[in-house]
Amino acid sequence: MAGFGPNEWLVEEMYQQYISSPDSVDEAWHEFFADYSPAGSGSSSPNDAPEQSQPVKSNGAAPPSPATAPAASAPSAAPAQASPPPVTPPSAPAASPPASSAPPRQPDRAAVTPPASAGPPAPARNPEQPKPAPLSRDRSQTSSPTPQSADGATSMKLRGAAARVVANMESSLEVPTATSVRAVPAKLIADNRIVINNHLRRSRGGKVSFTHLIGYALVKALESFPEMNTAFGQVEGKPALITPQHVNLGLAIDLHKDDGSRQLVVASVKGCEGMDFAAFWSAYEEIIKRARSGKLTADDFAGTTISLTNPGTLGTNHSVPRLMAGQGAILGVGAMEYPAEFQGMSEEMLAEIALSKTITLTSTYDHRIIQGAQSGDFLRRMHQLLLGEDGFYDEVFSSLRIPYEPVRWVTDVTIRHEGQIDKNARVIELIDAYRTNGHLMADTDPLEFKVRTHPDLDIIQHGLTLWDLDRVFPVGGFAGEATMSLRDILGVLRNSYCRTVGVEYKHITDPEERGWLQKRIEVKHDVADVREQKHILGRLNAAEAFETFLQTKYVGQKRFSLEGAESVIPLLDAVLQKAAEYALDEVAIGMPHRGRLNVLANVMGKSYGKIFAEFEGNMDTGTVQGSGDVKYHLGASGVFNHPERNSAVRVSLSSNPSHLEAVNPVLEGIVRAKQDLINKGEGGFTVMPVLMHGDSAFAGQGVVA
């Protein structure tokens, strides 16, 4: 049981539940519990013997009683075929040993080799006997109330899991520990976490917590101080220093039980030393997920070499956690708060004076193998990493494929000299840099071969620092606002220019045209409402269902599938909705072969019957002897009806016989001719061309219009 450390109580609780109802325990534990014997038990059913009062040692453990040992093993002597008659226990309890007699001396468990078998096999269960009920989660299973004492106080005996927690805590007292404490500025951690999570929210999803970053800093700090990942042990009865092969980081997880109580388990992430941050984050989240769902296995509990606990999530400012045997150190993380004397200040004043929140780190270590200087240097190394030294955040951003420069730890610049550029002007300069070069950092490479960055988009290049992120600057109408914080300015700029759409327009010489584009590009990101999200999902489902059917029904036929680019359908749907709202006369589309059949079916309204007939090889009866062209070259025309408004717009798709997309300049000529025929003058360009590029354009071939 020593391998489970602080989780021994949970393992024993699960074992008792397994004995009562094996099906109520995850199958991953069945093999482990098949030959498992609880610590200190010498029989399979100790509860069969009547209770007997025993003197209690100072650590709460009762000495073995010769009178009860035979009784506990007596049932195993009976043959399995015969069921013994029920035995009525004596009306009077067994006599306690005399008070003057000292309890027999307990042998040292560390010096005694346990027997190969934990005890005789359990008696066979009668198949007609009803199955025991699952182990209850009530507190009554772990405690037993006793009558009140003379002064009115009540006492409660701790049993089961609660008693195991007591035993674990008492055994931890045998480890001589000391604790080092260090306060770390938390602003850089918080600012980089905001950048990371904003990017994840708009791309792959997920969320990085402070504990993820601190835990990874702990793993990286162990590279400089591997002695913190050691343990004390005994080899042949003599003290020894044990150096594990890997870094197995134990995570203290606070679980809420159904009855309102809480339990603490420590599961470990194995082999952390070989992970980058993305792998560490994924493994960490997998452990938490399995802990919340009750899917942890024995391997998750065993082998922890160093632990991390974060009571700061509950507001605890400073913690000295217990260090269990088998580990050399445990790191405690405190709450992230402003110093107490500044907590009455407004957020604006705190930003103005460049005051950071702090977070307290504690290193509780085994003083037999780790000295105070080593623990202090270890915390100093973590301090350095959390302030971004040695490219810590660069590595984090790179592993998550985030294109932005991390926020850097620099000194705040508040002194103004004559001739120095004001920070307000530097903010306007930063906005112009994103308008000019933001498209160079846009995520437009579907292969994600290289993360694109640009030095002109780093705030440090413009004389701004992390201390300016929460300060408010005048922006002159940028994003429809008169003033904005630098953090909000960067959010709008990155959402507008550096996401999945690259916009380049600064070469336009007409300031009115540039302003028209800026007004529509530089807007705050709004999440679509539920109704719109459901509509988009419906269009995606229609595109996916169409491709799935063709792939299943017409295996091997050339069709230029839209698989992987189904978002084209809701994108065209949104364009046509806007065209209908603005009462345009027509939308003319030119596109490659890829996805043409899907567009014909789900945008143009071409019937499925006609498309399937073309797959069957049937001739088009509408033309003399058929058109002779293949199905993915054909065009069509129809009417698009707005899904919510009483409006519609004509839509046409031009035929395209060439995979080099020669249709693009042809379509522009078609649109110009239609506009001339309508002849509404300068204000009447009501035929809108929509050009789409395909595979060859991605490779740099074909016509780019």
Q: Which residues are catalytic?
A: 367
What long-range pairs does 625-631 form, CB within 8 A, spacing at least 24?
629/655, 629/657, 630/558, 631/559, 631/597
Yes or no: say if 486 and 468 are a contact pair by the CB < 8 Å rule.
yes
Helix (H, G, I), strand (E, B) or coil at 447: coil
C-alpha–C-alpha distance, residues 154 and 148, integer Å: 5
3-state SS, one letter per residue, for 19-69: HHCHHHCCHHHHHHHHCCCCCCCCCCCHHHCCCCCCCCCCCCCCCCCCCHH
> 247-257 burial, b for 16+ CB within 10 Å, e for fewer?
bbbbbbbeeee
With tokens 């025991």, the residue in question is 132
Nearest by Cα to 273 from 251, 249, 293, 257 = 249
Is residue 383 a contact partner of residue 184, using CB atoms and an 8 Å limit?
Answer: yes
Residue 408 · residue 460 · CB < 8 Å: yes
Q: In this structure, are residues 494 and 404 in contact, taking their beta carbons and an 8 Å threshold?
A: yes
**Measured between alpha carbons, how far apart are the two ends of the chain, in Å?**
72
Question: Nearest-CA neighbor of 69 among 89, 85, 48, 90?
Answer: 48
Name 413's Cβ contacts closer than 8 Å, sequence gap at least 6: 463, 465
- Distance (Å, rounded) from C-alpha 146 to C-alpha 155? 6
Tokens of 642: 């707005």
Provide the residue type at 654 as one letter.
S
Tell me the residue type at 402: I
E strands, 324-449, are 329-337, 358-366
CA-to-CA distance for 290 and 287, rounded, in angstroms? Answer: 5
Q: Is 225 within 8 Å of 243 (Cβ atoms)?
A: no
Cα 217 to Cα 189: distance, rounded to the nearest angstrom:
11
**Phi and psi torsions of 459, nearest 5°:** -65, -30
Structure tokens at 197: 């999570």
